[in-house]
Structure 1
């Protein structure tokens, strides 16, 4: 078996398998958006508008297009991104996940003009939704339930998206990030969701429960983007606390979907997000002059990706053992579209096909 450091051996093979899987998925779902796939049949459950995961499918198509240089694949990615416009004015903090990662090529040289315009429009809309009194963009009511929530999955993507809005965007991005870190890290294990009371207080929510696999992963990703895009230099304590939770040498490489459930499902999608966050943070550590920490974080990200490639990647290129919702028993060992996206992006970073801040 190749070691994690032999990037050109295992990472390129895994990435090639993923691109084959993306082509099969594109043929199956057509104009719809894949959500999760059955681990046995490989058949996708899809949505017409993408739900909160639509940007990951568009982003995956862009990663494939940029890696191949193929004009037809670029056109397919651009078409998918255009179909995300519906979400610009929807009341949801997941616009960060949808409209940051789904407009990825806008940031780079030779980027897609339409995607760049959509990103700028989305950034302005999200800044307009910023609640200065509460210090964040609320979770929103687009998916039902109470809207005045702070949730860990409402931070990634939204921090860099806000930071790109003129007229106070960076300040709003910092406020949104710091508010969520203060709430989520107020308990051990981190509490992923909080509800705002009329008196200005916050009360913990029971769902998602503490110990949810993606809490620290989403926050690590958001912290890395906050440091990079907002030039925020005061998040050291949060980085150390989150890294100790998930990126320490003794932490599980692939976390359980819900801590405290022995023998329950794991969540490869959380591991893939953590790997990308680790690779981003390694760059930032080196930029700050801490080469030793940069190397440690890079090794951790590489180790996670290697484990996913060697133990959880199917022969058809599907990243299995992702858990959509352990509490409801929904898609508990499935291929998840955001797992595929972050796994592909991590592999692309290792092989030089994309940068850690391409998206």
Structure 2
């Protein structure tokens, strides 16, 4: 679309494209209480409302309104199984527990393959990575990476991560007085204050899976999981094993007690099983820098609009493509699938064109 068409036909888009959700709300005269309610889901994108692109956030909330919520019976694992099944039905091969330790590039800087942990090298005409670019650079084997790629990875800020508590309780949710699937608990209605006071419990979310999947645990029991905001760098880098154990125990006790006090329920005496995961856990299993889950922060200078506009400049290594939460649309299941689909279409187009 040319600029004149954008301004005349899509004026609202142009007026809001470069602004934060809070700036747009203020321009519309939305009262503070309504703003605080509307901005509740900022944590799903990982950036407070005063720094979060309005179009990105509104498109997400609009999706919540238009599309009824649902939960796969076997949760995210069922989605993974469905993807594996689809790949295999179309003649593809899936290798589990096969870590990529090297991305291989020829002398011209073109991606040509990968090396697996066992030493096996796999070559391909096109490579799609859902590994964060920081790790691709750390596993780069061959010609020197482009300077722009290195500068971009260093300039970007890593997004949110979490401390997560998983609880198995010996009573049903009804017996415990738990009524909702998802409960947001905050110290303030203001998203910036929630973020800045994260070390004080500024915001956390508690979900009871039994509300949507009643048989996810045996009859007469229920499951709770706590999602507690923490940013890369918030944890002490030099914890001893004993200090790390204390960190996890202190977090669990603190947030369980706060949840009990806030909701007027008692769950501590009903805990049969508990697991605490931290950014260290996520770094171990995901391999992401600092245990980052949300890819790169969708900040004002590095948001979905800017990433989309500069995609061809930022991701221009021949034969190497990206998808996932660190890519142009940021984190989230829909973003992961949408970028996967868009990237697949781009790869197919390039293959047909002989590129």
Q: TM-score, normalized by length of structure 2? A: 0.28
User: Which of the two has greater helix per residue?
Assistant: 1
Q: Which has the larger radius of gyration?
A: 2
User: Which of the two has greater strand per residue?
Assistant: 2
